[in-house]
Each structure stands twice: as structure tokens, then as C-alpha cells.
Amino acid sequence: MDDDRPDVLLTGLLFYDLVLTGLGKPPTPGEEIWTTGMGCGPGGIANLAVAASRFGLRTSLATVFGDDFYGVHCQEVIAGQEGVDLSLSRIAKDWPTPVTVALAQGHDRALVTHGQEPPYTQDVLMGDPPEARTALVHIGTEPQAWLAKAAANGTQIYADVGWDPTQQWSAELLEQLTLCHAFLPNETEAMAYTRTDSAVAALGTLAELVPVAVVTQGGEGAIAVDQTTGEYAGVPALDIDVVDATGAGDVFGAGFVAASLGGWPLEERLRFAVLAAGLSVRHHGGALAAPGWYGVDRWWRSLTDPELKRAYGFLADRIPADVGPPVRHAPVTPPARPA
């Protein structure tokens, strides 16, 4: 209670997301398709920031906003609506905020993005990073200097990794795990980087490199090993109708960090993260689909399945007395700005 450090420190590229759902089939050249659903709002690194903040974590985000409509709108949502600290962020004059159009079908989506390289790197944004309880990061082939500084000042690093467009899956990336407390890739990434042929084998290799290793398996759930406690856990995914899977992995990561900061057993951490991700795919977008404590509480109160009631019984003692106001989901279009 006396720790005034941020609970979560974040940096990365922000996008304005426009998500279209309800496509009967993928579009083809020369064809117009009308969809039955749409949502818009902040995306990219905002997915992690909003998801963490909605779980009551003090969240500090270092990113770049364009001085255009999209950038201003994203700032208002992330800071004004969601309470994320943007003191480490910068506004770039005449730089267009990246925009992504997501075409969601079934359990996956296709992305079309327009953007330019940001004028400030993560290292410039972070400088000498403030001490924080955790940092949630996307690691890439190029190591970031700020990450080593954060690890040195006592910040626990929770990392994941994105798709490698070269499909080389360089094992050198795993060298960065020496700085990390936890690593949370999906099974495709985990198997590719470890040169293994199953999620379980990949988890075994990663567990030798990082104290807490997690491999997410989409519709199959997730598996994890915590070497600090000697725990292993595997949990199934929830049976939920998917509207849009955008950002579900980020919501999973934020949920896992929130539960880890609470000191929960590994199985509870994993179940909570799977639940958070599962609840998020019922809504459009990534950031504004995050359920927060309000969404988790509503799900728990409405639960009638006796098997799930037993599996998630720990929530009765974990959900805070004040779950906050109802979360705002992605609107079809952003509200008009005052004249």
C-alpha cells in the first residue's frame, strides 16, 4: 500500500483501430461487402495499457501520438477515460497516427495498416526509466537499452513477442530473456523460436530460460511453469462466441500480470488471464474490449455452470468490493468533438 511506483510500465507503438465484423467472406477486388458490426478506438500498445488500468493497476505509458484527430482522440480515451498516465508520452507534430483496419472473421482477423516510423524511439521515450513494479513489453530482434535499465532498477519484466515477418525466428531473440521475469508467447511463436514441435516441448525449453514461462494456445487455453514456486498449470479456454479476437493476447498478458502482482497461485493466474482474454473477444477492438474488474464481476455473478463455478471459485475472494463503473466498449464511430 505504501509503494507509489507504477504497477505497470509500458512503451510501444499506438494505433487507431477500426474493426469490421460480421463479414460473410473475405472481400475480393472490385467487390463491396457490407458488414454487420464495427468498432473503433485505440489499439496497439493501448491494448495492454487499458487492460491493465481496468484491473486497477497504476499504469504508465510511453508512446507517440500524432497531432491529428486520431492522436488527440486516443489521448482523450487513454488518459481521460481510462486513467492511464501519459507523462512519458510525446506528441509529434505533423506525424500521422498509424491506423489499422481489422477485418474479423471467426477466431482470427486480417489487418491492413497505414503508418510511418515514429519520430521517437522507445529508448528516447523511456530515457532512464522510472522504477516500476512490472513492465509489460514486446521484445523484438533489436534489443532496447531501456529494458536493461529497467531490469537493473528492480522492475520485473513480463515479455511477449510478435510475429516475425521474415519467418526466420532467430534464436538470438531468446537471449533477451535473461532480463525477463516472465515470457508469454503464443504456441506458434514459442515452437518457432525454440525449434520444437509441440507447445509442451516449447514450454520446457523456455522454462530453462526464464523464471515464469507461459505458452498461450488460443482456443485450447494456456500452459505455464513457474520455476520460482515449482508450479505447473494448464487450463482450458472458455467456450465463448468470438466477435473479434483483436488484442486478446494483450488482455491475457495484462490479466496475468494483475494476478501475479496479487501473489496468486499459478493456476489461478492462468485461469484469470484466460478469462480476461475470453471476455474480451465478445466485443470489438482490443483496448476497449478489455473487461476489467467490472466485466469479470458481471461474468462471475451470472455464472450458472457448476463446473466453471468450481474452477473459478477463487474469484469469490479475489474480486474487489469496488469493481468500478461499467466499462465503455468501442463505439461504432468516435463521438463528435465540441465546436
The pLDDT confidence band at residue 107, using thresholds 50, 70 and 90, is: low
pLDDT at 336 over 80: no
The mean pLDDT of 251-278, rounded to a whole number, is: 97
What is the average pLDDT score of the chain? 93
Q: What whole-number distance in Å separates Cα of residue 35 and Cα of residue 324?
A: 33
For residues 289 and 280, is the Cβ–Cβ distance under 8 A?
Answer: yes
Number of domain units in the chain: 1
pLDDT value at residue 1: 52
Q: Indicate whether 337 belongs to any domain.
A: no
| Domain-located, residue 330 | no
Is the residue at 97 inside a domain? yes
Residue 332 has a CB neighbour count (10 Å cut-off) of 9
Q: What is the pLDDT of residues 185-205, one digit of tens each?
A: 999 999 999 999 999 999 999
pLDDT at 2 > cutoff 90? no
pLDDT at position 106, please? 66
DSSP state of 186: B
Look at residue 163 and tell me whether its pLDDT is greater than 80: no
pLDDT at 176 over 70: yes
CA 310, distance to chain mean position in Å, is 27
Does residue 74 have a pLDDT over 80? yes
Query: Does residue 141 sit within a domain?
Result: yes
H or E element that contains 91 = strand 90-92
pLDDT bin (cut points 50, 70, 90) of residue 62 is very high
272 and 264 Cβ atoms separated by less than 8 Å:
yes
Q: Which band of pLDDT confidence, cut at 50, 70 and 90, is reported for residue 165? A: confident
pLDDT score recorded for residue 168: 86
More confident site: 243 or 309:
309
Instruction: Look at residue 339 and tell me whether its pLDDT is greater than 60.
Output: no
First-to-last alpha carbon distance for the chain, in angstroms, is: 43
- pLDDT for 216 beyond 90: yes
Does residue 285 form part of some domain? yes
Please compute the mean of the pLDDT values over residues 107-111 and round it to a whole number. Answer: 77
DSSP 8-state symbol, 281: T
14-21 and 156-161 as β-strands: parallel, antiparallel, unpaired?
unpaired
Which stretch of 26-35, 110-119, 171-180 has the lowest confidence by average pLDDT?
Answer: 26-35
Position of cell 486513467? 83
Segment 277-289 mean pLDDT: 91
Say how far apart CA 63 and CA 86 lie, in whole Å.
Answer: 8
Range of the domain at 236: 8-26+33-318
Percent of the chain with pLDDT over 90: 78
Give tens-digit pLDDT for 260-273.
999 999 999 999 99
Classify residue 299: in a domain, yes or no: yes
The CATH number that applies at residue 101 is: 3.40.1190.20
Q: How confident is the model at residue 40 (pLDDT cuts 50, 70, 90)?
A: very high
Q: Is 329 a domain residue?
A: no
Strand ranges (E), 106-228: 108-114, 134-139, 156-161, 182-183, 212-216, 222-226
Q: Is 324 part of a structural domain of the chain?
A: no
